[in-house]
Chains A and B, each alone.
Chain A
Amino acid sequence: MTSTFFGIETMRRAILTHRTVMDVIGHNIANASTEGYHRQRAVLKTTEPFAYPGTNITGVGQLGTGVKIQEIQRVVDFFVEDQLRVGTSSKGQLEIEKETLRRVEAALMEPSTTEGLSDVLSTFYKAWQDLSLSPDSTAARNQVLSAGQNLVDVINQIDQSLRDIRSDLNAQVRESVTEVNRILSELATLNDEIKKVYVHGNNPNDMLDTRDALLLELSQYLDINVSETDNGMIAVHSGSRQLLWDMNYSPLSDSLAWDHPSQNTQTPYFSDVTQADFNMLADFSSGAFKGLINSRDEIVPEVQDWFQDIVRTLMNEVNTLHSAGFGLQQYSQDIGVTTTSDIVVSPPGAGVGDNSVTLTSVQNVLIGDILHIEEADTQEGDGVTVKVIRLDGNRVYFETLDDLSLNKARWEGDALSTFTVGSGAHIYKVDEPKNLFFDLAITLPSSFKADMAPTYTSTMISTVQLHQDIDLNTTLADIERIYGIDLTDALTGKSVALSNDAITQNFTESTTFGFFLQKMNEMRPEINGGKQVELKFDEINHRLVLTGSEYTSLSELGGKYGSEMGIMRLFGFEGQALTGFQLFEGAALYTTTLSEIGVSDGYFLVDGVSLYADSTQTLANNLNNWNAALNTAGSTSQGTSIFYDPTARRIKIVSDHAFSVRDGVNQAGLPNAPFIKSNFLVEMGLQADNGQITFSAAQQKASITSSDTGARIRVNEALLGNANLVAAATSAAGVPGDNSIATAMGATRTVLAMNSTGVGTVITPNESIEEYYDAQIGALGTRSQRAIVDLEVTERFMEYYEQKRDEVSGVSLDEEMTKLIEAQHAFAAASRMINVVDEMIDRIINGTGLAGR
C-alpha cells in the first residue's frame, strides 16, 4: 500500500518534469538560428521505484514513482566538431594564401595592354629601335628617355606594391597574435567556470557551446588539438606546444627578428611568433598563421626574387651596351687655341712619335681623354679626334682613334698618312659620355622620418645569453654569485668604479642590474662619434645585447685593454663580432667563391693587417689565408679571427681585443696609381670609405626582398638633363650616323639572358627577358589558380561537415513543435491525473465516516 499522496507526488513529478522538458524545447526553439548552438534534450528517467522493505513481500513488487530529468544533454558529435576545426584551420590558411596571390597578381597588372611591365618594356625596346632609324635625332632620344622613365616608374611601383603586401601581412601576424591571446584567455576563464558546474553535477551546456565556438575561432588561426582533462576542462595543443591546460594558458607573442640582414635600426623587422622563447613559425602546419608566414616569407619573396632578377638583368644589359656607346658628340670644353706649329697626327701603329701639342695649361686634360682638333677656319666638326696617351708637363701626346679611314680628316700632301693641323687650331675636349642608362635609386620609405640622408651603417651587434635567473632587478651581488666573477675594482673594495672625465659612478653590491646598465649607457656617450653605444637587455630571449654603429666605434666596445666597457667581457662577450649581411641560401664554405657573394678582388684592413680578398677562391681558402695573416706570431692582431657562421649564414669578425676595420690602402706603391680596394667591407654592410654608397648585387637582392629600404632603379639623371648623352654610336668618330648601339639595344629584346628553371643560380640562359617574365606570370597564375581551387575544395569540405553537424545538433522546428505537443499532452494528462487523485482523496477525506448522513 502506498501513501495517500503517492499518486499526486508521481504526477507532481510528471508535471514538473514535463514543464522542464517544455522549457528545454523552448530553449531550443529560441536558439534555432544561434550560431554554434547544439540542441539540447532532456533525458528522462524513472525515479527510484518504491519497494516494500522486508523479505516477505507480496503484491506488485516495485512500483514506479514517476519521472525525473536525468540530465539535459547536449547533442553533439565530437568527430564532426573536430573535423570542422581541421577544415577551419585549412580554410584560414588558404584564404590568406589565395588573397595574397590575388593581391600579387593585381600588383603585376597582367595581362593588360597598358599598365603592366610587359607593355612598358615593349615600348622601351621600340623606342630604341626608332632611335636606330634616326641616330642623329634628339627627339628620338627624348622618346627613349621617356620610355625609360615609364619603365622605371612601373618597376618601382610593382616593387613598392610587393613590399606593401609583405608589411601588411606582417601587421596581420601581429594582430593575429593579439586575437589568439584573447581567445586563449577567454577559454581559460571558461574552463574554470565549466569545471565549477561539473563539480556540482550539472551540464554547463551553453558554456560548452561557447567554448566550442571559441575553439573553432581559435582553429582559424592555427591548427589545434583538443584533449579533455578532468572535470570537463580541456587542454589545447598546437604542434609541439601547449597553449592551454585547465585554467592556465601560455600566450603567444610577436617578437622582432633580431638578425635582420639590413641591420638598419630605423626599420621594423619582420615579426616572429614565439611562445615562451620558442619560435613557432616552423611549428604551424595549418591556420591563418601558416598562411601568413607562407605568404610573407615564401610566396611574396619568390615573386620579388624573380622580379628583381629581371630588373637586374635588364639593367645590366642596357648599361653594358650604353656605357660602351657615344651620344651626340658634345664639344663642351674648349681647351684652347694652339699657337705653336702644326700638330701632326699619325695613324695608330705609326708610333707615338711626335704627335703632341703644347698647351698653356693642361688642367683639364687627363690621360684617356678624347680630344678633337680642328683647324681655325674649318666648319665645326671637321678635324680629327684623338686620344690622350701621355702627359709630359704641358705637352699632350696623343694617338688617333680607330681606323683613320673612318675618321674625318683633311689630308695634306705628305708621303706619310698624317694629318697636319695648322697652327691656330682649336682643341676641344670631347665629353666621353660613358654613361650608365639606369642606376640605383636609394630611397627611404616615407613612413620613416628620422634621418633622410641615406647613410647605411651596419649596426654592430654582439650578444651573450644570460643566466635565466638574471633580470633587470637582480643585484650585482647576485650576479657575482651566479657567475662566480668579481666585479670589484681592487682599489675601491666591493664596488665597481666607472669614470669618464665628468662623472664617476660607484656601484655597490645592492645595485640592480637594470640600474647598472642604465648608468653604463650614460657613461660613455662620446664613444662612437657621439652616437650611443648601447647595452640592452632582451627580455624575450634573455640576452644581453651590445650594439653600436659605424665600424670605427668597434675599437671601443668590449676588449681586454683599457676601456671600462671591458667589464662586458666578464659577462661572456667574446669581443666584438661584426655580423655582416646574410649570405644567400646554399652558401657553403668549400664551394662558394667570393665572387659568387659579390666580393671583388682587393685589399681590406682588419686590425691593422692588410688582407687580400681573392674572389676566385672559395670562402674557406680565403678565411684560412686571412686568419693566418692575422695570427702570425707576435703580431698585435693575434686573437682576431674571421669565421663563417653557417647557422646564421654570416661572416663574423671576432676578437679578444679592440680592433678596427678599414678599406684597403695603396698596395702598388706607385704614387698616383689607384689602390685596389676590395668591396668586402661594403659587402659586410659597412659604410664605404669615401662616403659613397655602393650596393653589390647581393645586397640589392637582399635589400629588395627585405622589408626595409632597398635598391630600386631610375634613369641616370645626367641623361635626363641632356638628352644628347643617350648613346647610339659605338665610337666617337661614328657620330652621328652610327646606330649600332641603338640597334643592339633594340635587339636585346630577343637576346637569351635568363632561365626560368633556376632563379638566383647560374644556369645557361635559354630565354629572353620577356620569355622569362611570361613564364613567371604563367607560374604565378597557376599558383594562384591552385590556391583558389584548394580553397573551394576546403569550402566544400566545410559545407559537408557543417551539414553533418546540423544533422546531429541542429534544431528542427518541426521536430521541436511535435515534441512540444507531446510534452503538452503529457503535462495535461498529468494534471488530469492530479484531479483524479484529488477527487479520490477528497472522497476519502470528506466522504469517509459520514455514512448514512
Chain B
Amino acid sequence: MVFSRVTNSAMTNIFINDIRRNLADITTLQHQISTGKRVSFPSDDPVSADRILRHTQELDKIDQYIRNIKDADGLASSQDSLFDTLESVLMRVRDLAVRGNNEAPFTQNDLDPIAQEVDQLIHMMWTQANQKFNGKYVFGGFQTDKMPFAISNELEYVVSGLGAATDTLTMPATSTGNISKAITDANSITDIQIFNAGTGTWNSVGVAITSDPATNQVTVAGGGNTFNNGDRIRLVFNKDVIITYNGDMGEKEVEISEGMNVKTTFVGAAADASRQTTIFGTQSEDERTAKSVEAFQLLFDLRDNLYKFQASKDAGVDIINDLGQAITDIDGIRNRITDARAELGGRVNRMELATNRHESMKIENKKLLSNHEDVDMTEALSDLVLKQNIYQAALAAGAKIIQTTLLDFLR
C-alpha cells in the first residue's frame, strides 16, 4: 500500500483494523483448540462438513451391524449346542436300535427295556425341540411365543371301509397313519371317543376296550357302541404316540451388512418336503392327527416295533427288517442335523467375515473422520503462538507511533 497523505485518523483506523483481524484469527484458533474440532459450522469447511456427516453415519451403521451380528451369534451358539445334544440323543437311539437289531435270541423281556429307553429318548428329543433362547422358541419359525412341538397320547382318524356297523375296528396299517403300530399290547388303548356331529362333542364309548397287537384290532364290548363308516374316532393310548408341529415355516433374517441379510433361524418342521430343509422333517397335513412329524414318527415306530416284536412274531410277521430299516432312518435324521450344522457353520462364517470387515472399516472411517473433524493440536498451538507474537508486536508498534504528534515538539 502506498501512502501519500497520512492523517492521524488514518493511522488509527489501520491500526484498529489490523488488530481486529489479528484478534479474529486468534479467537478462531482458540475456539478450535478448546473444542478440539476444526469445523463448528458447515461454512468453516463445507467439504469437510459433508465428509464428517458421512463418516459419522457410516460409523453408526457399522456399529449397528456389529450389534446385529452379536445378537445372531448368541442364537447361533445356542442352536449349535442344541444340535449337539440332538446328535448325542440320536446316537444313543441308534445304538439301541443296533442292539435291538443284533440281540439274539430275542425275547420280549430283552427288548422291553430298550424300548423304554427309546421312549425316554423320544421325550428328551421333544424337550430339546421345544428349547428357548432369550425367551423365544428356537424351532417354531415365526411363532416364537408358542411351543412348536406338541406331544399327545391321542390319535384320530375317520372310519372307512366297513361293510356294516360293527363293534370291532381294525386299525389300518398304512395310509391314515401308523396307528396300527401304536397298538403294542392289549391295553394300549384306554379309551375310544366318537365325535357326535349333532352336538359337536366327543363321547367316550364308556366300556372296556381290548386291543390286539397281533391283528391290530380293537374291540369294544358292550355298551351299545358301534362304529360306522365316516365316524370320527379318537383313540386314547396309554403312552404318548404323536408329536405334531404347531409352528410355521418363517425364517427370520437379520441385516449384517449393507444389503446383506442372513437367516438366523431353522425351521422345525414343514408341511411340504419340497419347500426347504427342516430339522425334524415334514408332517403331512392330511395325517396330522394320526401321524407325527417325520423324525419323531420314526422314533415312535422304532419304540413300538420293539414293544410288539414278540406279538408280531406270534402273528407271523417278522419285523426284524423294520428294525434294520430304523437304523438307516435314524442315520437319515442325523444327516439332517449334520446338514443343518453345516448351514449354521456357513452362516457363522459369513457373520465372522462381516465382523472382520466391519472392524477394519470402522478403523478406516474413524481415521478419515478424525482427519476432517479434529484439530491438529501441534499445528494449531504453534499457529497460535505465532499469531500471538504478531499481535503483541502490532500492539507495541502501534502504541509507539500513534502517540507521537507535532505537539510533543512544539514549544
Contact = CB atoms under 8 A, between A and B. Distances in A.
Interface of A: 32-33, 101-102, 105-106, 108, 110-111, 113, 118-119, 122, 125-126, 129-130, 132-136, 341-342, 379, 381-382, 404-408, 410-415, 417, 422-424, 729, 733-740, 743, 746-747, 749-750, 770-771, 773-775, 777-785, 787-788, 799, 802-803, 806-808, 810-815, 817-818, 821
Given A111-B39, A412-B288, A413-B158, A775 B6 contact: no
B224 interface: no
B252 A136 contact: no
Given A411-B285, A811-B9, A775 B43 contact: no
Interface centre among B10, B42, B64, B176 (most CB of A within 10 A): B42
13 contacts: A118-B56, A122-B57, A134-B71, A379-B146, A405-B249, A734-B142, A737-B250, A739-B253, A781-B50, A782-B46, A785-B43, A799-B17, A810-B8
Contact of B52 (A111, A136, A415, A770): A111
B248 A733 contact: yes
Given A734-B250, A738-B250, A807-B4, A784 B43 contact: yes
How many chain B residues sit at the interface, stated as a range, is 35 or more
Given A410-B288, A413-B176, A736 B145 contact: yes
Contacts of B64: 125-126, 129, 746
Contacts of A815: 7
B49 A413 contact: no
Most chain B C-beta atoms within 10 Å of own C-beta, residue among A412, A413, A815? A413
B13 interface: yes
Contacts of B60: 122, 126
| Best-surrounded residue of B64, B71, B140, B265 (most CB of chain A within 10 A) | B64
B290 interface: yes
Contact of A110 (B5, B42, B63, B248): B42
Given A102-B41, A803-B13, A812 B53 contact: no
Contacts of A414: 158, 286
B50 A775 contact: yes
Scoring B4, B49, B142 by chain A CB atoms within 10 A of each residue's CB, the highest score goes to: B142
B43 A102 contact: yes
The 4 A-B residue pairs whose C-beta atoms are closest, nearest first, are A781-B42, A781-B46, A778-B50, A411-B288
Contacts of B96: none
A118 B57 contact: yes
B148 to A, nearest CB: 10
Given A129-B64, A780-B42, 13 more contacts: A32-B8, A118-B56, A133-B254, A136-B136, A414-B286, A422-B200, A736-B144, A736-B145, A737-B136, A737-B144, A784-B42, A806-B13, A821-B410
Contact of A737 (B5, B50, B156, B252): B252
A102 B43 CA distance: 8
Nearest to B42: A781
B272 A405 contact: yes
Contact of B14 (A413, A737, A803): A803
A751 to B, nearest CB: 10
Nearest to A339: B200
A818 to B, nearest CB: 7
Given A413-B286, A424-B200, A806-B13, A408 B248 contact: yes
A407 B63 CA distance: 36
Interface of B: 1, 3-10, 13-14, 17, 39, 41-47, 49-50, 52-54, 56-57, 60-61, 63-64, 67-68, 71-72, 134, 136, 140-146, 156-158, 176, 197, 200, 232, 244, 246-250, 252-255, 258-259, 261, 265, 270-272, 275, 285-290, 373, 405-407, 410
A811 B12 CA distance: 12
A413 B248 contact: no
Given A122-B57, A736-B145, A406 B250 contact: yes
Contacts of A779: 46
Given A133-B71, A799-B17, A774 B271 contact: no
Contacts of B405: 813-814, 817
A405 B248 contact: yes
Contact of B406 (A130, A807, A817): A817
B271 to A, nearest CB: 4
B41 A129 contact: no
Interface of A is mostly: helix
B253 A781 contact: no
B254 to A, nearest CB: 6
B253 A740 contact: yes
A814 B406 contact: yes
B27 to A, nearest CB: 15
A779 B53 CA distance: 13
B287 A405 contact: no
A136 B285 contact: no
Contact of B7 (A424, A810, A818): A810
Of the listed residues B45, B143, B253, B286, the one surrounded by the most CB atoms of chain A closer than 10 A to its CB is B143
Contacts of B197: 341
B49 A781 contact: yes
Given A737-B143, A739-B252, A781-B46, A806 B246 contact: no
A417 B7 contact: no
Contacts of B1: 803
Contacts of B44: 781, 785
A706 B175 CA distance: 75
Contact of B53 (A136, A405, A410, A777): A777
B308 to A, nearest CB: 23
B50 A743 contact: no
B46 A785 contact: yes
A773 B53 contact: yes
Contacts of B290: 413
Contact of B141 (A102, A737, A808, A814): A737
B248 A407 contact: yes
Contacts of B6: 807, 812
A129 B63 CA distance: 11
B246 A750 contact: no
A111 B9 contact: no
Given A737-B143, A785-B46, A807-B4, A111 B252 contact: no
Contacts of A773: 53
A811 B8 contact: yes
Nearest to B271: A405
Nearest to A775: B50
Contacts of A780: 42-43, 46
A781 B41 contact: yes
